[in-house]
Amino acid sequence: MTAADYVTACLFILGGIFFFAGTAGLLRFPDVYTRLHALTKADNVGLGLIVAGLALQAESWLAAGKLLLIWLLVLFAGACVAHLVARRALRKGTRIWTE
């Protein structure tokens, strides 16, 4: 294993932790808004870390660019969808968790 491989492994483990945290949040948090918060972490940071790890191993700059593009698309779509869902939930009067 080269140095890049070790960095990739670290990034993968971190990314895996964020995905795990996202899933745990989805399962354990009490209302829509907090669950939204949890899963956007998996979308943004989790996928971002895994993509960063893979980009280190990519065979060409082009492939790394495509990986980056995929991450940016997920980031953009995730952010917009989270906003739309939260806004609609608030307007529909979904209860906000307080203790």
How far is the C-alpha of 57 from the C-alpha of 44, rounded, in Å? Answer: 20
Name which position in 52, 85, 98, 99 contacts other proteins (CB under 8 A).
85
Name which position in 3, 7, 27, 45 contacts other proteins (CB under 8 A).
27
Name which position in 3, 45, 87, 96 contacts other proteins (CB under 8 A).
87
First-to-final CA distance of the chain? 49
Closest CA to 53 of 21, 99, 8: 8
As given in the structure block, the two tokens for residue 72 are 């940016």
Amino acid found at 66 = K
* List of residues contacting other proteins (CB under 8 A): 1, 5, 8-9, 12, 15-16, 19-20, 22-23, 26-27, 32, 35-36, 39, 42-43, 46-47, 50-51, 54, 57-58, 63, 66-67, 69-71, 73-74, 76-78, 80-81, 83-85, 87-89, 91-95
